[in-house]
Amino acid sequence: MVKEILSGRPLRILHMLHNRSKAMTTLTILTKQSELAEELGITRQALNVHLRRLRDGNYIRTGRGFIDITENGLKTLGLSANPTFVFLKVSPHRRNEAYKAVCALPIQRVFRVAGDMDLVILVDSEKLDAVLRQIALVDGIKDTRSYITIETVK
């Protein structure tokens, strides 16, 4: 497949949209609504009624082949729209075991990073205290640094 190269007005529009955009926390589900209806054991029409209600309440956004859970939807589920980042320094000798233990914690995502830290985990701020207590029990964790986001700026 040949990648289209944008120029002129479409490129200017894309730049304008990017410059005006606000980063938001959105989770995307790549699925067909017919598959989701079958998994739920309801008709496609019944699913549409429920999805329309969720969409009208700004809990989700839908399109062809995807459903996005919005920040409002996350808040309704008790999840934080402003994530907390915990940076972890791991002992090289215990790296594999520590990675497995961290991945088993009630966290959203884990990133392996280069630099003076080894892992960055994304945690709901409401779960931070419990996660930090569990991390303290993981053999091989040498240092932690927690950063709680206040708001998305851009």
Q: What range defines the domain where residue 16 resides?
A: 8-76
Is pLDDT of 119 > 90? yes
Please tell me whether residues 45 and 23 are part of one structural domain. yes
Final residue in a domain of this structure, among 54, 76, 98: 76
**pLDDT level of residue 16 (50, 70, 90 thresholds):** confident
Is pLDDT of 2 > 60? no
Tens-place pLDDT, residues 102-118: 999 988 889 999 999 99
Please tell me whether residues 20 and 72 are part of one structural domain. yes
Is pLDDT of 124 > 90? no
> Is 118 inside any structural domain?
yes
Is pLDDT of 1 > 60? no
How many domains in the chain? 2
> Is 112 inside any structural domain?
yes
Output the pLDDT for position 66: 84
Cβ neighbours, 10 Å, residue 140: 19
Helix H segments across the chain?
Answer: 8-20, 33-40, 44-56, 71-76, 95-103, 128-135
Output the pLDDT for position 109: 87
Final residue in a domain of this structure, among 76, 98, 122: 76
Tens-place pLDDT, residues 23-49: 666 678 888 888 888 988 999 999 888
